[in-house]
Amino acid sequence: MEQNNGILKVRDLVVKFRVRRRELTAIRSVSLDLYEGETLAIVGESGSGKTVLTKTFTGMLDTNGRIAGGTIEFEGRNLVEVKTDKEWEKIRGVKIATVFQDPMTSLNPLKRIGIQITEVIEKHQKLPPDEAKRIALSLMDKVGIKDVDKRFYDYPFQYSGGMRQRIVIAIALACKPRILICDEPTTALDVTIQAQILDLIRSLQKDYGFTTIYITHDLGVVANVADRVAVMYSGQIVEYGSVREIFYDPRHPYTWALISSLPTLARKGEPLYAIPGTPPTLFNEIKGDAFAPRNRYALGIDFEEEPPFFKVSESHYAKTWLLDPRAPFADPPQAVKIMRKKGNIYAESAAEAGK
């Protein structure tokens, strides 16, 4: 890959939660590199740990959670060692900001929109009120709010869902963060509004030059926004690679299953592929590959020993025994073959166009 300048480096991260006097391992040794200026999408079903993982970057784990091992390297320091709120305040919202799923709950319903933006600027950048207001107005304009002088004094209920999410983005950008974490930012919005918000984040990324992490379960959104994709299952990353590698040449059976269950590739009248069973409980130690019981490609060793990451290309790695040279040939599902063909067609037509 051309970008070698890592901005955030996660190594062997383990996160545990105490729930009803038992301990649950939500993140089971995750390593991840985030490159400056890229958009990384983290996909997985609910409970796979994608939100928990990114919460550790801003010190926002719930009080019953703790980091039990590993390091998170950011700007020359280990974020795992940051403990006090006072220290976190210099990072959270300033260097690493988050946009959450539901714009209805992330704004204070009793405060005017403008105040909610200016208070962030005043607090973090120590600017006088009139200067903060000027910046807030220009931010509102930037995120596509019309008639800003009037809308500055409106309350959240006077904004539609899409407009509120724009305000949340404006607040997140107020301190010019280096990393913007978007946790399902468009799940609560309509498709047409969703498309506009995704476009907005993309164009802001160009202007401000921040690095983006998207958390989503919608593979359509991933295809739209991501440069790279990490697939999570049961608290681990099981496959990562460039967006084209993950969609057109996936190697992990879980990624295969995700792609197979998409209705876009299914033929009408034929049943959709449904992943059988449920994810394993994270209270117990997981032996072997966590996906094995639901995996029709599982090998004997999958139930015994956890697979390591196998290299597919410089940028593409998958954690499955199927890539071991000793493994038998696994014929991927039809949907994956269709995607592979699609990828080739585009690659060829792009090469044609280049000539």
Partner 1 sequence: MSDVLLSVKNLEVTFKNGKENFTAVRKVNFDVHEGESFALVGESGSGKTTIGRTIIRINPATKGEIFFAGQKISGIIDRELDTYVIRNIQMIFQDPMASLNERATIDYIVSEGLYNFGLFKDENERREKVFKALNDVGLLEEHAERYPHEFSGGQRQRICIARVLAMEPKFIIADEPISALDVSIRAQVLNLLHDLKNKRGLSYLFIAHDLTVVRYFADRIGVIHQGELKELATAEELFARPLHPYTRSLLSAVPMPDPDVEKHKSLLIYDPSVHEYAQEGPSWREVFPGHFVLANSKEEVEYRAAFTTNSPSRR
- Summarize as ranges the residues that interact with partner 1 (CB under 8 A): 45-46, 161, 190-196, 198-199, 217-224, 226, 243-244, 247-248, 257-259, 261-264, 266, 268, 271-275, 278, 339, 342-343, 346
End-to-end CA distance of the chain: 24
C-alpha–C-alpha distance, residues 169 and 6, integer Å: 24
Q: Closest separation between CB of residue 67 and partner 1, Å?
A: 26
What is the greatest pairwise CA distance in the chain?
Answer: 68
C-alpha to C-alpha distance for 22 and 33, rounded to whole angstroms:
31
Residue 29 or residue 196: which is nearer to partner 1 going by CB?
A: 196
Question: How many angstroms separate the CA atoms of 60 and 301, rounded?
Answer: 37
Measured from the Cβ of residue 50, the count of other Cβ atoms closer than 10 Å reads: 27
Smaller CB distance to partner 1: residue 118 or 224? 224
- Neighbour count for residue 90 (Cβ, 10 Å): 11
Minimum distance from CB of 152 to partner 1 (Å)? 25
Rounded distance between C-alpha atoms, residue 244 and residue 248, angstroms: 6
Least separation, in Å, of the C-beta of 154 and partner 1? 19
Q: Closest CB to partner 1 among 173 and 259?
A: 259
CB of 244 to partner 1, least distance (A): 6
Q: Pick from 228, 197, 220, 204: which is nearest to 8 by CA?
A: 228
**Rounded to the nearest whole angstrom, what is the least distance from the CB of residue 191 to partner 1 in the complex?**
4
CB of 235 to partner 1, least distance (A): 16
Closer by beta carbon to partner 1, 35 or else 247: 247
Q: Is residue 244 helix, strand or coil?
A: helix
CB of 263 to partner 1, least distance (A): 4
Which CB atom, from 195 or from 301, has the smaller least distance to partner 1?
195
Using the minimum distance from each CB to partner 1, give the nearer residue, 133 or 228: 228
Contact 214, 221 (CB under 8 A): yes
Q: Which residues pair with 96 in a beta bridge?
A: 92, 179
The amino acid sitting at 250 is P
Q: What minimum distance in Å lies between the beta carbon of 187 and partner 1?
A: 9
The 3-state DSSP class for residue 242 equals strand
Measured from the CB atom, the residue of 179 and 219 that comes closer to partner 1 is 219
Three-state secondary structure readout of 258-281: HHHCCHHHCCCCCCCCCCCCCCCC
CA distances from 219 to 9, 134, 184, 192 (A): 25, 38, 12, 17
Choose between 229 and 237: whose C-beta lies nearer to partner 1. 229
Please, what sign has the CA dihedral across residues 226, 4, 2, 199? positive
